[in-house]
Amino acid sequence: MAPHKAPRCFQDVILTLQNYWAEQGCAILQPYDEQVGAGTLHPATTLRSLGPKPWRAAYVQPSRRPKDGRYGENPNRLQHYYQFQVILKPNPPNLQELYLNSLARIGIDPLLHDIRFVEDDWENPTVGAWGLGWEVWCDGMEVSQYTYFQQVGGLDVRPVSGELTYGLERLAMYVFGVDRVYDLPFNDPDSEYPVTYGDIFLENEKQQSRYNFELSDPEMVLRWFGDAEATAARLLKESNVLPAFDYTLKASHLFNLLDARGVVSPTERQSFIARVRDLAKGCASAWAEGQS
Amino acid sequence: MPQLLLEFFSEEIPARMQKRAEEDLAKALGEKLKAAGLDAKAIKTFSSPRRIGAVIDDLPSKAADVNEERKGPRVGSPEQALQGFLKGAGLTSIDQAQIVEDKKGAFYVARIERAGRETSAIVQEIVPEIVRAFPWPKSMRSGSSDLTWVRPLHNICCVFDGKAVKIAVEGVGSEAVTWGHRFHAPEAMPVTSASDHASKLRGAKVLIEREERKTIILEQARKLCAARGLELVDDIGLLEEVAGLVEWPVVLLGDMDPAFLDLPGEVIRLSMRTHQKYFAVRDPKTGKLAPHFVTVANVEAKDGGKAIAAGNARVLSARLNDARFFWDTDRKTALDTPERREKLKKIVFHQKLGSVWDKVERVKTLAVELCAVTGADVEQVKRAAELCKMDLVTETVGEFPELQGQVGRQLYALEKGANASIAAAIEDHYRPLGPNDRVPDDKVAVTLALADKLDTLVGFWAIDEKPTGSSDPYALRRAALGVVRLILESGLRLPLFRNPVLLIRTVQTQTLAARRRGDEAIRNIINLMLKMDASEREIGAALLDLSGPAPEGESQRRDETWDEIFASNDSSVLLLRALLGFLADRLKVQLRDQGKRHDLVDAVFALGDDDLVRIVARVEALDTFLKTEDGANLLAGYKRAANILAAEEKKGKWSAEEAKGQVDAKLLAEPAEKALHEALEKALPAARAAVEREEFAAAMKALAGLRAPVDGFFDKVLVNAPEAEIRRNRLLLLSRFREALSAVADFSKIEG
């Protein structure tokens, strides 16, 4: 294999990972056009991990977690960030090796750094999914989540999918030795017009944090949640699974917005999560039926 | 003898599961081998993140031959019985069986001789069984395989007597090979024996002995610290975990920005421990944390670990920056602010029990009442109660929930004129957190800790959320044990049964849980207790008055009032009784764990006492007494008397009603019965008086005086005299004797 050029900026990390996983036979998808809290929620993972058909895909997914907004003041926390997601069904027996090679490709030498697989059982209650795996640590920093899916939407996953989620900002900050996410070089720092992560996203963090915590209209969001929920349920009855899933994702995000506003009591919280989970389970089983 | 080596090579096994898995493997292997006729004298096990295995050094090469006789049916039995026998014994014709005569006649006997199977064949059979049934706390499937294991299983290396043994289980590889360190020595290495396996792995930078890894980590860490004039903060739990995260431990000392040292030490230590699995380091001169940390890497890095140490330091800085942000936000204000109170009102403690602030209010009133027993300062207790949950809404506790209590204390301590008792109570009111946690010693802390737990228990009992079987989501057993330990270890004379404070609280909580019952429930109690109309406050006052010192001649009336209350079917009373039963169970468990005989505990509990301190004193006195010769003999005498009385009662010739009668001194004829009568006349009041003074050893001593007269009575006197009057009189004597002993314990519950 020809030596690969080490990445120098944020987008290099993305491009390198895309190329690497394309070499492993993955379909390189684009982000899903719904607001989601994690790359797992892309139908390419949530739905495609179900059923017997083999499937390999990789994609970047912008992820929104309204509650994590810090008005751009925290060097590590963002309410909008990128995940790089890989899904391989069935998981190949050498998936760990493939994963470690991807780290090497972005410049992490395992004989210079301390790479560790630390137990972390992954669970996403809003979509009734869980799996076993690890957080992958590089010198004490969590750089990826590595999971063998066991259930999605409350259904057993057979064959089992291997899911890899790279936290791109963290990984890049680590590789480039940057302590503040906004200082990350986004494109080549030697290019004619270099831009940083902050040039692109700092203002967004400030404004979105203000919306999430201060300006959103909880009553309206609650209504939207109800509408999205009702629509998803209605579409499910019509076996219109993929649109139903879109509305499930909307409901999930709207719940996160309500949660960020601090208007959801702990008891209500459980009931909201259960409502979204029921929809997600409905979508998952309807999808799985169509697959087998 | 030949040696067996078994290694399950997999992806990274969670650190917390490895040690237990070694034990489970040894157990399963031992049992399966034994069932197959192979006796493994010693099973050694090993584990590391990527493997778990076992070595047996002296396993026979084949199982022992089976030589067994099986007795069959009688000669001449029906064909069906004969066929069944032949099948079971593995014979083809009845001619192969022998005929044996015994007293009952002639029987067929089959002599079964089976050569022992080869050990390798047995191993091939049992290892797949072990794999399929392995008790991992959580296991998973991988790819398209049906096998479940803790993480994907890649190879089962099995070598017996120097030869590879193939294990076939759901397509998992089974080569006599192993793999060294993931990055230092990734190639497969053939394995011929256990020593070959261990030494090749050592060469390939894998230490398979968990204890060796622990020793190395500890030694290296201490050495590194000492070289810099520092001291490692020992943490056994963390050491165990870290030893399960590395195959080749390399200890590194990293630096932390000293500016972080103004954070509370616990915040720093927890950031290091829970998030990063670092050991903290302190300055031996001051005993305070030093601006360094110890991390254990799994690799001998090319640069000697510089990049790893620097990387870890950066991660820690990011973590501590977060923590600093939280801590700085929290300490901008005093602990008690209107905003925090409002927030506590919004946090649901339990849907049916109101908010955390509601709980604070309840704990406060209960704690104030308890001051009479604990001797704590009422004003301090009130303040501590108001402050104790305040830190739950701080940013720092939001990030580090383990620090609840500690953060409150620290924030409070920053205030001017902070009081040491209040500070201690804020931190310690959660204690004791288990059987091994310490009980607070400050009076204010004890009071608050007790009130907090009693409120929780009464509350959850009132809404019928009791622990069932292994399910105890609100940790109520722990709370109950906490109550028991607080009372006993602080020597609190708190009656749990005849306790107005708890009863009032039960009524109130029930009322809260089911408002519709409200006034009715309270009125029931009013009518029951004082048979008059009064407000709740007045009842409370009246009830409390019932527990105060009794005026002359009042004590009996009070006892009767309480008996009436507790005999009633009022739901609050029933609930409190159930809760007290639960507390009694915790005490029993506690006493048993301390090695107290369970029957003695039962014997004392049967008296219905509700003062834990007194109960324990009784159990201890009883234990000592029964170990003396007098005690043992008296117990034997008691059993004999009780048996006679029970037998008469069974025959209908004696009843509890008759037992209440008086012994007629004139009817006493034999010197031995006169002696017993006199002794009883003396011992009974003496024992009762001693019990009244809570001098249980003295009470037992008074009873010991009965031993000789009782022995004499049974030697010389015939209870079943022909004259009905005399017989009745003697049964009455025995009844008195039984009664005398019952003053200290229910001897019928004592074994032996």
| Half-sphere exposure (Cβ direction) of A199: Cα atoms closer than 13 Å | 10
Lowest-confidence segment of A274-283, B179-188, B556-565, B649-658 by average pLDDT: B556-565
Does one domain contain both B99 and B124? Answer: no
Cβ partners under 8 Å of residue A188, min gap 6: A8, A9, A12, A194
Does one domain contain both B244 and B157? Answer: no
Which has more confidence, A198 or B595?
A198
Contacts A74 to B, Cβ<8 Å: 322, 325
Are residues B392 and B341 in contact, defined by beta-carbon separation less than 8 angstroms?
no
Asked whether the CA dihedral B458, B464, B466, B471 is positive or negative, the reply is negative
Lowest-confidence segment of B169-173, B259-263, B742-746 by average pLDDT: B742-746
- DSSP-derived pairing of the beta strands A80-89 and A55-64: antiparallel
Does one domain contain both B428 and B571? Answer: yes
B157 forms bridges with which residues in the sheet? B7
Contacts B184 to A, Cβ<8 Å: 111
Nearest residue, CB atoms, A90 vs list B139, B144, B303: B144
Phi first, then psi, for residue B28 (nearest 5°) are -60, -45
- Note the pLDDT tens digit of each residue in A185-226: 999 999 999 999 999 999 999 999 999 999 999 999 999 999
To the nearest whole Å, the CA of B552 is away from the closest chain A CA by 54
CA trace torsion B80, B85, B86, B90 (10° rounding): 140
Cβ–Cβ gap A92/B143 under 8 Å: yes
Task: Show the low-confidence residues of chain A (pLDDT under 70).
Answer: 1-3, 265-267, 292
* Domain endpoint, select from B187, B203, B219: B203
Encoded tokens for A16: 């390198």
Q: How many CB pairs under 8 A join A and B?
A: 115
Are residues B15 and B241 in contact, defined by beta-carbon separation less than 8 angstroms?
yes
Cβ–Cβ gap B299/A111 under 8 Å: yes
Average pLDDT of the segment spanning B350-355: 78
Residue B316 counted as domain residue: yes
Nearest residue, CB atoms, A139 vs list B143, B303, B315: B315
B571, pLDDT greater than 80? no
Are residues B245 and B277 in contact, defined by beta-carbon separation less than 8 angstroms?
yes
B633, pLDDT greater than 90? no
To the nearest whole Å, the CA of A93 is away from the closest chain B CA by 7
How many CB atoms are closer than 10 A to CB B48?
24
Encoded tokens for B535: 């407000």
For chain A, give me the number of helices (H) and strands (E)? 8, 9
Does one domain contain both B357 and B450? Answer: yes
Does one domain contain both B179 and B51? Answer: yes
Lowest-confidence segment of B191-200, B535-544, B552-561 by average pLDDT: B535-544
Does one domain contain both B42 and B126? Answer: yes
Does one domain contain both B135 and B235? Answer: no
Nearest residue, CB atoms, A159 vs list B143, B277, B297: B143
Cβ partners under 8 Å of residue B532, min gap 6: B526
Element (H, E) at B619: helix B612-627
Closest CA to A118 of B244, B731, B395, B152: B244
Cβ–Cβ gap B301/A118 under 8 Å: no
Confidence at residue B556, expressed as pLDDT on a 0 to 100 scale: 61
What CA–CA distance (Å, rounded) separates B471 from B469? 5
Contacts B347 to A, Cβ<8 Å: 266
Q: Do you find a cis peptide bond into B135, omega within 30 degrees of 0?
A: no
Residue B86 counted as domain residue: yes
What chain A residue is nearest to B297 in terms of C-alpha separation? Answer: A114
| Half-sphere exposure (Cβ direction) of B324: Cα atoms closer than 13 Å | 15
Cβ partners under 8 Å of residue B260, min gap 6: B268, B291, B317, B320, B324
Buried b (16+ CB within 10 A) or exposed e, A160-186: bbbbbbbbbbbbbbbbbebeebbebbb
Phi first, then psi, for residue B422 (nearest 5°) are -65, -45
What pLDDT band is residue B644 in, cutting at 50, 70 and 90?
Answer: confident
Are residues B294 and B221 in contact, defined by beta-carbon separation less than 8 angstroms?
yes
Contacts A139 to B, Cβ<8 Å: 307-308, 310-312, 315
Instruction: Give, in order, the Cα–Cα distances in Å from B338 to each of A261, B333, B386.
Output: 20, 11, 12
Does one domain contain both B565 and B426? Answer: yes
What CA–CA distance (Å, rounded) separates B425 from A11? 54
Does one domain contain both B657 and B716? Answer: yes
Q: Contacts from B392-399 at CB under 8 Å and sequence distance 24+? A: B392/B344, B392/B347, B392/B356, B393/B340, B393/B343, B393/B344, B393/B347, B394/B326, B394/B330, B394/B340, B395/B325, B395/B326, B395/B327, B395/B329, B395/B330, B396/B267, B396/B323, B396/B326, B396/B327, B396/B330, B398/B326, B399/B322, B399/B323, B399/B326
Lowest-confidence segment of A220-229, B38-47, B348-357 by average pLDDT: B348-357
Element (H, E) at B489: helix B476-489
Contacts B151 to A, Cβ<8 Å: 132-133, 148
Instruction: Give, in order, the Cα–Cα distances in Å from B697 to each of B116, B328, B596, B608, B703.
Output: 65, 59, 17, 20, 10
Does one domain contain both B159 and B10? Answer: yes
Cβ–Cβ gap A118/B245 under 8 Å: yes
* Global pTM value: 0.73
Tell me the Cα Rg of chain A: 19
What CA–CA distance (Å, rounded) separates B298 from B206? 10
What CA–CA distance (Å, rounded) separates A24 from A26? 6
Q: What is the DSSP letter of B47?
A: E
Residue B621 counted as domain residue: no
What CA–CA distance (Å, rounded) separates B139 from B136? 6
Are residues B368 and B382 in contact, defined by beta-carbon separation less than 8 angstroms?
yes
B533, pLDDT greater than 60? no
Q: For tokens 């012994």, what's the residue?
A: B663
B317, pLDDT greater than 60? yes
Domains in chain B: how many in total? 5
Q: Estimate the crossing angle of helix B443-462 against helix B378-387, to 10 degrees.
A: 60
Lowest-confidence segment of B30-39, B142-151, B315-324, B334-343 by average pLDDT: B315-324
Which one-letter amino acid corresponds to residue B555? S
- Note the pLDDT tens digit of each residue in B200-215: 999 999 999 999 999 9
Terminal alpha carbon distance of chain B = 50
Alpha-helical (H) ranges within B490-608 are: 500-513, 518-529, 536-547, 555-567, 571-593, 598-605
Are residues A149 and A49 in contact, defined by beta-carbon separation less than 8 angstroms?
yes
Biggest CA–CA distance in chain A, Å, is: 58
Opening angle at CA B588, ends B586 and B589, nearest 5: 65
Confidence at residue B547, expressed as pLDDT on a 0 to 100 scale: 45
Confidence at residue B516, expressed as pLDDT on a 0 to 100 scale: 35
What chain A residue is nearest to B275 in terms of C-alpha separation? Answer: A140
Nearest residue, CB atoms, B302 vs list A112, A118, A133: A112
Alpha-helical (H) ranges within B188-305 are: 194-203, 210-227, 236-243, 265-270
Output the domain CATH number for residue B721: 1.10.730.10
Nearest residue, CB atoms, A139 vs list B150, B311, B325: B311
Residue B584 counted as domain residue: no
Cβ partners under 8 Å of residue B206, min gap 6: B48, B180, B181, B185, B247, B248
Strand arrangement, sheet containing B105-114: B66-74, B105-114, B98-102
Cβ–Cβ gap B143/A93 under 8 Å: yes
Q: What is the span of the domain harbouring residue B323?
A: 210-330
Cβ partners under 8 Å of residue B462, min gap 6: B353, B506, B509, B510, B512, B513, B575
To the nearest whole Å, the CA of B12 is away from the closest chain A CA by 6
Contacts A141 to B, Cβ<8 Å: 311, 314-315
Percentage of chain B beyond pLDDT 90 is 41
B526, pLDDT greater than 50? no
Element (H, E) at B628: none
To the nearest whole Å, the CA of B660 is away from the closest chain A CA by 60
- Classify A87 as helix, strand or coil: strand
Residue B391 counted as domain residue: no
What CA–CA distance (Å, rounded) separates B428 from B489? 15
Which has more confidence, A46 or B525?
A46
B255, pLDDT greater than 60? yes
- Classify B514 as helix, strand or coil: coil
Element (H, E) at B43: strand B43-48
Nearest residue, CB atoms, B298 vs list A93, A116, A141: A116
Which one-letter amino acid corresponds to residue B480? A
- Classify A58 as helix, strand or coil: strand
What CA–CA distance (Å, rounded) separates B372 from B385? 16
Buried b (16+ CB within 10 A) or exposed e, A209-222: beebbeebeeeebb
Residue B452 counted as domain residue: yes
Encoded tokens for A195: 């831009």
Residue B586 counted as domain residue: no
Does one domain contain both B654 and B701? Answer: yes
Output the domain CATH number for residue B52: 3.30.70
To the nearest whole Å, the CA of B90 is away from the closest chain A CA by 44
Residue B125 counted as domain residue: yes
Cβ–Cβ gap B351/A119 under 8 Å: no
Which has more confidence, B69 or B31?
B31
- DSSP-derived pairing of the beta strands A55-64 and A155-156: unpaired
What CA–CA distance (Å, rounded) separates B599 from B577? 22
* Domain endpoint, select from B172, B203, B234: B203
Closest CA to A173 of A196, A149, A205: A196
Nearest residue, CB atoms, A116 vs list B14, B245, B307: B245
* Domain endpoint, select from B542, B577, B612: B577
What CA–CA distance (Å, rounded) separates B534 from B512? 20
Q: Do you find a cis peptide bond into A90, omega within 30 degrees of 0?
A: yes
What chain A residue is nearest to B315 in terms of C-alpha separation? Answer: A141
What pLDDT band is residue B570 in, cutting at 50, 70 and 90?
Answer: low
Encoded tokens for B579: 């809760």
Average pLDDT of the segment spanning B331-351: 87
Does one domain contain both B315 and B198? Answer: no
Per the prediction, chain B carries an average pLDDT of: 86
Encoded tokens for A42: 């892309």
Q: What is the DSSP letter of B96?
A: G
